[in-house]
Each structure stands twice: as C-alpha cells, then as structure tokens.
C-alpha cells in the first residue's frame, strides 16, 4: 500500500528524473560563461566576453577577423593531402598552411550506422593553421598556401602513410623577403596525441605586433544519432593559468578572450575532444567562440603566442584529438579530464566511483550488460538491510491503519491531540513513518550518477547487451511512432515497459491492490509516469533499474516476507491486547 511518505518519495524521484535530461541545459547551459578554478588559487588574468546576435553572422565557422594580406612566396608547390594512419585513427593532413587537419576518423569508434566516426565536417580547413594578427580587424594568414614537404613529394594526393614507429613530417615555406616557417609534426603509433614543432625565421616584418596564433577553425560534425543530445554537449574551453574558462554553445554567438599564461584551448562534443596545448612555454592569450543552430554547431579556438625580438624562434605544441576517456585524458597530465561533467559536486564522487567499478568489473567480464546485472545484484546486497526495514515499516503501517482511523475519528476536531496520539502509537508499536522512504532516498543519488555515467562515458557508447539492446548509452527503441507523445517522445523502448510492470508487481506484493480507491489509482499512476520519463533514458540505466526491481521482488518473496510476517504477528497480538484494554475502559 502507498502511504503518504511513499508517494512523496516517488514524486521526489520522479522530479529529479524529469530534470535529468535538461540538467546540462537548465543548470549549466543557461548561465553566462564563467571561469572555473580546479587547482590552486584563482589567477589575476582578465576575461573579456562579447556576444553578437546570431542573425548578423556572416561566417559562423571562422572568427570575425577573417584572414587577409596575401604574402609573396618564393616557390609554391601543388596542394596535396596525405592520410596518416596510426593504431587509433586516420588523420588527413593537408600541405596547405604547412600541415592543417582536414579530416579525422577514429578506428575504434563507430556511428550508430556502423561507419567510422568522421569527427570533422566535409570541407574543414584551417585547423592548426598559423596566422599573424596585424590589427584588431586584420590577420595575415598562411592557411591557403601550400608548403613544401619532401615526404609529400613522394606520395600522390590522399595516399596513406602508415605510422608503425615515431614518424616525422616537415613542411617549410620561404617568402620573397627571405622569411621562413618550418612546421614539423611527430606522430606515434599509439594514443591520440601528436607533436607540432614550429620554427620561425626573420619574422619581425610579418608580425608587427610580435605575436602569432595557432588555431582550430572548423568545429565538429554531428556524430551521434540524437542531434539534440549531441549539440547540448557542445563546449569550447581555454585554460589560462589555473583557471578553466568555458562556454556552452547557444543560438546566440558568444566569444571569450582571456589574457594571461595560456596553457591550452579545446573543443568538445558529447564524446570527443580536440585541443592545442602550449608545450614549451605558455601563450599570452586565448580566444574561444561558438554558436549553434537546430542542426549544426560552429565553434573555434585560438591560442596566441608572443614572439621575442630576434631573428629566429621556436615553439613546441601538443595536439590532442581524442575520445572523452577520463583515464586517458588524465594520463596526459594537462587537465583535460576537467572538461568532463560528472554532475553536481555531491554527485561527482559517486559518478566517478561507479565508472571505476564498472571498468574494473569489465576487466573480468567482456559484456557491459552482464556487468550491469552483477552491479545491480551488488547494490541490492548493500541495500538489503534498508530494504528489509522499509518493507517491514510499510507492513507495520498497514497493520496500524484501523487504529489510526479510530484516532482520526476520535480527535477529528483536535489536530494537536491527533498528532500527539499518532506519534505515541508509532512509538508504542515501533513504527517509523519515514522508514519506507529510505531505500528510495539512498537510490536517488545513485540513479542520477548512473544517468551521468551512461549518458556521457565513452566506454559505454555503442556497448551492446543482447538482442535488441544495441547501445547501453541510448534508449532501446524498437520502433518509432509517426507522432510524439509529451514526455514519452516518439520512440518505443522495451526496458521502460518491463520496468513499469515490475513496479506494478511490487505494489501488488505490498498490498496496494487491496487498498482504497485513491491508493489503487496511485498504484497505476506511478508506473505509468515512470514509463513516460524513463523512455528517453539510456537503456543501461533502465536495465539496472529493471533488474533491481526484479531482485527486490525475489527478495521480498524469499527472504523478507517470512521474517516480517512473523514480527507482524507479534504486533497484531499487541494491538489486540491494546484494543481490549481500551474497550474495558
């Protein structure tokens, strides 16, 4: 039977579940971009932010100060691209700009259609390009100029270069004024990071402001089945000093300039990241920019580097284009793991703990679905004492209903006396009116943490279980309706239906089906309500909750019922004796 506290607990859980999908948007996405400090004290770096109306944008994938100023070149080779193949990715590198990234494909990660993930949009250009700011509105760019490369001369356009050991590619450009740029890439077979060494000679006339920028101009393509879901996780970051500044993409253009010891800039989608790290020395400024439409995103980032007053200078950079794998990003040592969102501060330790436990179990069990089954069993064992107490408290409350009804009738006009007598009765029969809520209250942060893990963790992306459950990070939809139902959506998922049925069965076992009419209505309302809101949740979360409910049913049937019913028999004798004494009086 649903007592009032049980209903309140369910409603609290439901409200949290409703707001889960909109957490990023409502609690993070709608606030103004701010600086967040992760280590040490906040630096004194200044952050400057400007916003421009979306409708005024002329070139959303490039910054306002578009490249200009052609440069006389001593000898210009033919434009050519080469595909770099490592153990982890295919990277298409153009000789334009001395090595700019035009496409990036992950070998391990697939789209929902089974194809390799193409991280960049078709026609991407200017990524890792070098430019020299001439003024606030003009920039000297080399992004459209082919550089010379001896290795490129040995290959045809779009040939593949397989990286079996550390491999170096050099590009050089000499202008008619004897100015020279040498860009050297070093690729390793393992991992997702590579090095870029930049050497400049006789650059003072190229850069009157004695600075240059290294840029990521074209953002990411949509890689996930749910476009809205992918777009909601679109961010641009800059780390200056110890401060991590971010903006989340909105339909209104945003840009942030931060002056200080610039460490890196980065762009992220739901599951992937690209970053430029100043390895040899900090930069002097970062600029990040972003906007989005209903179907696309446009974001870029620039890292500003100071040039000393001499004839020759060299800088080293680390380029990271990687999945949002917390362990891998942490191993790099740059702080990129902080771009991952683990929920509220109180939830974060639970989210990280769950992920580490799931990873550990995955080391012994090859299927994440089976891992979830065992995880549900483990949580059930941990919560068993609370579940036992909850069920016992609920049954005791049912047994007390006749006496509580008599008290209400007796003190109908005296609420204070009714409250005192009710509390006295609870104490006499050892009943905790809040006891039935405890397991649910303890599960609330766990369910939310699981939602975060399944929604944002790359390890669970595309992880299948059995039959129709192909991806534990997305709903297990088996067919799509020709219309959309409020809260429910247009996809029909199986696990939420099974979960709702287990809830109904649980309530029947607790006696809700024999309660009054209002409680019978509630018995059907809550499962239907949960069915609506869980339908768009990751199937991994629904699998966990469904299995947890099934284990609870078995637990009640095999273990709790015999123990609790024996105690209830004692309570009935006590109640009967109390009623006899009352009648004699």
pLDDT band per the 50, 70, 90 thresholds, residue 273: very high
> Which residue in this structure is represented by tokens 């210009």?
76
Domain coordinates in residue numbering, the chain: 63-333, 360-474+538-584
- The pLDDT assigned to 214 comes to 96
pLDDT of 67 above 50: no
Which tens digit of pLDDT belongs to each residue from 433-486? Answer: 666 666 667 777 887 888 888 888 888 888 888 889 988 988 999 988 988 888
Please report which residue ranges of 264-367 form alpha helices under DSSP H: 326-332, 348-362
What is the Cα–Cα distance from 460 to 462, expressed in whole angstroms? 6
> Which residue in this structure is represented by tokens 């400090």?
37
- The pLDDT assigned to 222 comes to 92
Question: What are all long-range contacts of 490-496, with beta carbons under 8 Å and residues at least 24 apart?
Answer: 491/535, 491/536, 492/535, 493/535, 493/536, 493/539, 493/542, 494/468, 495/469, 495/534, 495/539, 495/542, 495/543, 495/546, 496/530, 496/531, 496/534, 496/535, 496/537, 496/542
Mean pLDDT, residues 512-517: 55
Question: Collapsing DSSP states into helix, strand and coil, what is residue 30?
Answer: coil
End-to-end CA distance of the chain: give it in Å, rounded.
32
Q: Which helix (H) or strand (E) holds 466?
A: none
Q: What is the full DSSP assignment across 90-129?
A: EEEEETBTTSEEEEEEEEEEE-TTSSEEE-BPTT---BTE
> Which residue in this structure is represented by tokens 């006696």?
511
What size, in residues, is the chain?
585
Burial status of residue 511 (CB atoms within 10 A of its CB: 0-12, 13-18, 19 or more): middle
Is residue 248 within 8 Å of 40, Cβ to Cβ? no
Which tens digit of pLDDT belongs to each residue from 362-379? Answer: 989 989 999 999 999 998
Mean pLDDT, residues 345-366: 89
Q: Name which residue leads in pLDDT, 268 or 447.
A: 268
pLDDT of 572 above 70: no
pLDDT of 358 above 70: yes
Is residue 368 within 8 Å of 472, Cβ to Cβ? yes
pLDDT of 34 above 60: no
What is the Cα–Cα distance from 273 to 495, expressed in whole angstroms? 32
Which tens digit of pLDDT belongs to each residue from 116-154? Answer: 999 999 888 889 999 998 877 788 888 999 999 999 989
Q: What is the full DSSP assignment across 491-524?
A: EEESHHHHHHHHHHHHHHHTTGGGS-HHHHHHHH
Q: Name which residue leads in pLDDT, 487 or 121.
A: 121
Range with the poorest average pLDDT among 57-66, 272-281, 473-482, 493-502: 57-66
CATH (residue range 63-333):
2.70.98.90
| Number of neighbours of residue 365 by Cβ within 10 angstroms | 15
Mean pLDDT, residues 397-415: 77
- The pLDDT assigned to 243 comes to 94
Mean pLDDT, residues 548-555: 86
- The pLDDT assigned to 562 comes to 62
Is residue 575 within 8 Å of 403, Cβ to Cβ? yes
| Number of neighbours of residue 119 by Cβ within 10 angstroms | 25
pLDDT of 18 above 50: no
Distance between alpha carbon 28 and the CA centroid of its chain, in Å? 12
Q: Report which of 71, 305, 69, 317 is spatially closest to residue 180, judged by C-alpha positions.
A: 71
Is residue 338 within 8 Å of 38, Cβ to Cβ? yes
| Number of neighbours of residue 489 by Cβ within 10 angstroms | 16
- The pLDDT assigned to 440 comes to 66
Question: What are all long-range contacts of 28-34, with beta carbons under 8 Å and residues at least 24 apart?
Answer: 28/248, 28/341, 29/232, 29/248, 29/250, 33/245, 33/246, 33/247, 33/248, 33/254, 33/256, 34/245, 34/246
What is the Cα–Cα distance from 421 to 411, expressed in whole angstroms? 9
């Amino acid at each position: 039977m649903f007592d009032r506290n049980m209903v309140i607990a369910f409603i609290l859980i439901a409200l949290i579940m409703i707001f889960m999908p909109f957490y990023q948007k409502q609690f993070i996405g709608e606030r103004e971009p701010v600086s967040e400090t992760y280590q040490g004290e906040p630096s004194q770096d200044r952050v400057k932010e400007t916003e421009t109306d979306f409708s005024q944008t002329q070139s959303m994938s490039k910054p306002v100060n578009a490249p200009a100023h052609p440069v006389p070149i001593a000898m210009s080779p033919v434009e050519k691209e080469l595909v770099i193949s490592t153990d982890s990715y295919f990277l298409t590198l153009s000789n334009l700009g001395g090595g700019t990234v035009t496409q990036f494909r992950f070998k391990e990660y697939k789209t929902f259609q089974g194809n390799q993930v193409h991280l960049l949009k078709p026609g991407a250009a200017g990524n890792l390009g070098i430019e020299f700011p001439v003024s606030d509105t003009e920039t000297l760019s080399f992004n459209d100029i082919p550089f010379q490369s001896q290795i490129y001369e040995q290959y045809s356009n779009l040939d593949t270069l397989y990286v079996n050991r550390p491999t170096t590619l050099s590009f050089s450009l000499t202008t008619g004024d004897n100015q020279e740029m040498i860009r050297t890439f070093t690729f390793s077979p393992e991992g997702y990071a590579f090095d870029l060494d930049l050497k400049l000679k006789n650059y003072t006339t190229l850069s009157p402001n004695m600075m240059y920028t290294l840029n990521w101009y074209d953002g990411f393509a949509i890689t996930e089945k749910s476009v809205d879901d992918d777009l909601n996780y679109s961010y641009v970051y800059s780390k200056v000093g110890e401060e991590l500044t971010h903006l989340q993409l909105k339909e209104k253009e945003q840009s942030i300039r931060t002056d200080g010891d610039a460490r890196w800039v980065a762009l992220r989608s739901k599951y992937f990241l690209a970053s430029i790290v100043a390895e040899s020395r900090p930069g002097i400024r970062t600029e990040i920019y972003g906007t989005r439409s209903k179907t696309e995103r446009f974001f870029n980032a620039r890292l500003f580097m100071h040039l000393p007053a001499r004839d020759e200078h060299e800088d080293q950079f680390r380029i990271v284009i990687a999945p949002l794998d917390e362990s891998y990003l942490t191993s790099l040592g740059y702080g990129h793991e902080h771009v991952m969102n683990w929920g509220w501060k109180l939830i974060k330790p639970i989210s990280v703990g769950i992920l580490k436990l799931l990873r550990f179990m995955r080391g012994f069990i090859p299927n994440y679905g089976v891992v979830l089954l065992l995880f549900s069993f483990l949580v059930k064992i941990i919560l068993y004492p609370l579940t036992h107490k909850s069920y016992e408290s609920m049954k005791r409350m049912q047994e007390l209903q006749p006496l509580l009804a008599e008290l209400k009738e007796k003190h109908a006009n005296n609420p204070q006396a009714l409250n005192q007598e009710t509390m006295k009765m609870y104490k006499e029969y050892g009943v905790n009116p809040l006891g039935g809520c405890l397991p649910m209250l303890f599960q609330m942060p766990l369910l939310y943490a699981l939602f975060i893990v399944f929604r944002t963790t790359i390890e669970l992306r595309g992880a299948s279980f059995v039959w129709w459950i192909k991806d534990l990070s997305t709903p297990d939809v088996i067919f799509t309706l020709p219309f959309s139902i409020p809260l429910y959506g247009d996809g029909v998922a199986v696990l939420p239906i099974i979960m709702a049925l287990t809830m109904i069965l649980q309530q029947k076992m607790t006696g809700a089906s024999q309660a009054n009419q209002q409680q019978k209505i509630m018995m059907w309302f809550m499962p239907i309500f949960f069915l609506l809101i869980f339908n768009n949740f990751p199937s991994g979360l629904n699998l966990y909750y469904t299995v947890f409910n099934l284990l609870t049913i078995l637990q009640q049937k095999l273990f709790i019922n015999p123990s609790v019913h024996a105690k209830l028999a004692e309570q009935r004798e006590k109640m009967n004796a109390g009623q006899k004494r009352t009648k004699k009086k």
